[in-house]
């Protein structure tokens, strides 16, 4: 079996299934009364954490490719990003349906008046165009360069997600600190790589022009394979 087929028929389905384990567990725990005495809040917290985790995993793809040289990793990126959106949607739905039960007025006040909700909501909204433009057709229509530019919004979402988390904890900031570190390292890697590349003779030009080519090719190739 070629690498392409191996990824397509084994690794991708495996990742797809594995990424559903958290939601399967949460449903099971909710139905069997294993989500603490306050299951709605627990669901909110858990879906939020899984959103952050998938955002981090999505952001880890490029650094891992650079470090390991295994470029095929790019073929998992869209799925990871869509799972981030999936868990983000569950997180928002838990808040809208279970926690607030469609109390739109209260939620409007929350989104406009409570910074941690404003930031979290913004982080989610920014994922919507990314999810919509994740198809092969959209990549072609936008063109690789514009598509890449648009999808850098994930950086904003990642920072917003961490800030959202940081601003809601009461006193124990250890967990948000860990996510801040993860996002910091993942974004920092990109800055360092950019700096290193623009210095290096190998790269003809910095970010805007030729430097982005590999991204475009990867994205298009990946899209055309599905």
Query: Which residues, 140 to 169, sit near other proteins by CB under 8 A?
Result: 167-168
Please report how close the Cβ of residue 42 comes to other proteins at its closest, in angstroms.
Answer: 8
* 221 interacts with other proteins by CB under 8 A: no
CB of 223 within 8 A of CB of 139?
yes
Cβ atoms within 10 Å, residue 190:
16
Nearer to other proteins, 167 or 215 (CB): 167
Query: Is residue 112 a contact partner of residue 69, using CB atoms and an 8 Å limit?
Result: no
Q: Which is nearer to other proteins, 5 or 170 (by Cβ)? A: 170
- How far apart, in whole angstroms, are the C-alpha atoms of residue 97 and residue 67? 42
For position 171 contacting other proteins by CB under 8 A, the verdict is yes
Structure tokens at 180: 């801040």
25 near other proteins, rule: CB under 8 A: no
Contacts of 181 (CB under 8 A, 6+ apart): none
Applying CB under 8 A, among 41, 72, 89, 118 the residue interacting with other proteins is: 41
What residues make contact with other proteins under the rule CB under 8 A? 36-38, 40-41, 98-101, 103, 106, 109-110, 114-116, 167-168, 170-172, 174
């Amino acid at each position: 079996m070629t690498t392409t087929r191996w990824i397509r028929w084994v690794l991708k389905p495996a990742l797809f299934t594995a990424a559903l384990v958290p939601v399967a567990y949460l449903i099971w725990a909710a139905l069997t009364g294993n989500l603490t005495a306050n299951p709605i809040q627990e669901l909110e917290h858990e879906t939020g954490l899984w959103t952050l985790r998938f955002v981090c995993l999505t952001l880890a793809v490029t650094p891992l490719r650079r470090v390991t040289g295994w470029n095929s990793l790019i073929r998992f990126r869209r799925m990871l990003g869509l799972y981030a959106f999936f868990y983000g949607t569950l997180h928002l739905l838990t808040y809208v349906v279970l926690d607030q039960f469609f109390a739109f007025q209260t939620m409007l006040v929350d989104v406009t008046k409570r910074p941690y909700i404003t930031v979290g909501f913004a982080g989610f909204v920014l994922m919507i165009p990314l999810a919509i433009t994740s198809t092969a057709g959209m990549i072609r229509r936008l063109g690789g360069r514009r598509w890449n530019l648009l999808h850098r919004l994930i950086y904003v979402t990642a920072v917003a997600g961490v800030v959202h988390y940081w601003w809601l904890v009461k006193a124990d900031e250890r967990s948000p600190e860990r996510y801040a570190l993860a996002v910091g390292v993942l974004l920092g890697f990109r800055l360092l790589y950019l700096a290193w590349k623009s210095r290096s003779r190998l790269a003809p030009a910095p970010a805007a022009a030729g430097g982005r080519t590999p991204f475009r090719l990867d994205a298009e190739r990946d899209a055309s394979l599905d």
